[in-house]
């Protein structure tokens, strides 16, 4: 199975919605903005959006990054990570063409209690007009999308438990407005996900079936001083002990944006979750992700951060670490394009 004779169903049913941008997948993987009218459904069904889908149906995937997207690089090795690829048949083409927007990632509030260098230059906390714009966007989601939504992700922009608007949305969640909803996917740094807060969020308990905790480190030093500025390592570990006991969550992802300051901890990160937190009987993924420049680095700074770049002075050391983690249990990464160029890669 390869991507050329398969269909990725995501752009036929999914969107990442920002304040004034709109994508059909993670913009690090498919960086084509389909925002035009501001109406979410109209933009989702726009001419540009359909051109992107045509590139999937013709097998070229010309708008997608074949190095950044872990799913594209994995499917070439016969690994369908989450079932998003289906064989390209006439029946499958008819199926995806009937899909509509039922899965949305709300990315329009960047508020977060951390200032991770890979993401932002300073702390961000929306207030005043910015806060009102988030409230307006949430109302727009309810008006335009809610009747058909099956999955909501909070959030691709900041932290849902720090955001005033998203936290209030979760505390006051009204399931009657989302009659088809099956899953609320929580994407968070985990620092505020305490048992006390979770008990207050009882309205969403039946819907939170998946989550991703973005961590990027395996030691206190790296976590607090390099990748999670504002974070407290011990607090995160305590929260993880609780989060991993939540019975409604069926799939956990622990993610790690790989860069020059943390790549030496990749194996330790694997060991942290493969040997701790009573996860042996649960479905979980350890995801090593390529660092993306979201506008926080100059070109020269990004070049020094991007350990996957063959010109980086520590690139060979990174490849040796990648060898060690590649066959570790539950590991997924988007470095498959490097593996095939590495001799004797096991």
Residue 205, token pair as written in the block:
């308990």
Three-state SS string over 96-135 comes to HHCCCCCEEEECCCCCECCCCCCCCCCCECCCHHHHHHHH
Report phi then psi at 45, rounded to 5: -105, 20
Q: Is the pLDDT of residue 324 over 60?
A: yes
Expressed as residue numbers, the domain containing 72 is: 1-101
Where does the pLDDT of residue 1 fall: very low under 50, low under 70, confident under 90, or very high at 90 and above?
confident
In a domain, 39, yes or no: yes
In a domain, 306, yes or no: no
Q: Pick the closest to residue 25 from 82, 129, 17 (CA basis).
A: 17
In a domain, 244, yes or no: no
Q: How many domains does the chain have?
A: 1
In a domain, 66, yes or no: yes
In a domain, 112, yes or no: no
CA geometry: angle 59, 60, 66, nearest 5 deg: 110
56-63: average pLDDT? 97
Where does the pLDDT of residue 279 fall: very low under 50, low under 70, confident under 90, or very high at 90 and above?
confident
Report phi then psi at 119, rounded to 5: -125, -40
CA geometry: angle 102, 90, 28, nearest 5 deg: 45
Three-state SS for 297?
coil
In a domain, 113, yes or no: no
- pLDDT, residue 98, reads 95
**Alpha carbons 203 and 288: distance in angstroms, whole number:** 32
In a domain, 30, yes or no: yes
In a domain, 36, yes or no: yes
Q: Which residue has the tokens 């889908």?
A: 53
Q: Which contiguous run of DSSP H or E holds residue 90?
A: helix 90-97
Q: Pick the closest to residue 276 from 333, 320, 218 (CA basis).
A: 218
CB contact at 8 A, 114 and 159: yes
* pTM given for the model: 0.94
8-37: average pLDDT? 96
Residue 40, token pair as written in the block:
């979410």
* Helix, strand, coil share (%) of the chain residues, nearest 5: 40, 15, 45
- pLDDT, residue 340, reads 63
- pLDDT, residue 345, reads 43
Residues 184-239: pLDDT tens digits? Answer: 999 999 999 999 999 999 999 999 999 999 999 999 999 999 999 999 999 999 99
150-165: average pLDDT? 96
Where does the pLDDT of residue 343 fall: very low under 50, low under 70, confident under 90, or very high at 90 and above?
very low
């Amino acid at each position: 199975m390869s991507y050329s004779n398969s269909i990725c169903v995501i752009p036929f049913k999914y969107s990442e919605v920002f304040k004034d941008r709109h994508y059909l997948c993670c913009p690090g993987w498919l960086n084509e903005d389909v925002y035009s009218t501001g109406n979410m459904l109209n933009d989702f069904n726009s001419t540009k959006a359909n051109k992107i889908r045509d590139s999937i149906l013709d097998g070229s995937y010309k708008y997608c990054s074949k190095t950044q997207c872990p799913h594209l690089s994995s499917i070439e090795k016969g690994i369908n990570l989450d079932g998003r690829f289906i064989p390209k048949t006439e029946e499958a083409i008819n199926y995806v063409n009937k899909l509509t927007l039922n899965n949305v990632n709300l990315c329009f509030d960047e508020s977060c209690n951390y200032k991770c260098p890979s993401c932002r230059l300073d702390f961000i906390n929306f207030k005043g007009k910015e806060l009102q714009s988030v409230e307006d966007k949430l109302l727009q989601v309810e008006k335009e999308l809610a009747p058909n939504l099956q999955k909501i992700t909070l959030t691709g922009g900041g932290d849902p438990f720090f955001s005033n608007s998203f936290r209030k949305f979760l505390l006051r969640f009204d399931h009657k407005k989302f009659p088809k909803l099956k899953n609320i996917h929580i994407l968070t740094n985990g620092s505020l996900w305490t048992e006390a807060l979770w008990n207050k969020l009882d309205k969403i308990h039946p819907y939170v079936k998946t989550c991703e905790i973005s961590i990027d480190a395996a030691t206190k030093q790296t976590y607090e001083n390099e990748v999670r500025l504002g974070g407290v390592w011990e607090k995160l570990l305590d929260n993880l002990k609780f989060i991993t006991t939540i019975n409604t969550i069926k799939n956990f992802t622990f993610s790690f944006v790989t860069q020059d300051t943390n790549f030496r901890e990749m194996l330790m990160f694997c060991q942290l979750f493969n040997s701790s937190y009573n996860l042996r009987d649960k479905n979980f993924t350890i995801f090593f992700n390529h660092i993306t420049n979201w506008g926080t680095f100059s070109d020269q700074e990004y070049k020094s951060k991007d350990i996957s770049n063959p010109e980086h002075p520590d690139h060979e050391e990174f490849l040796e670490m990648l060898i060690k983690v590649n066959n570790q249990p539950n590991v997924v990464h988007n470095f498959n394009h490097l593996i095939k160029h590495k001799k004797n890669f096991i």
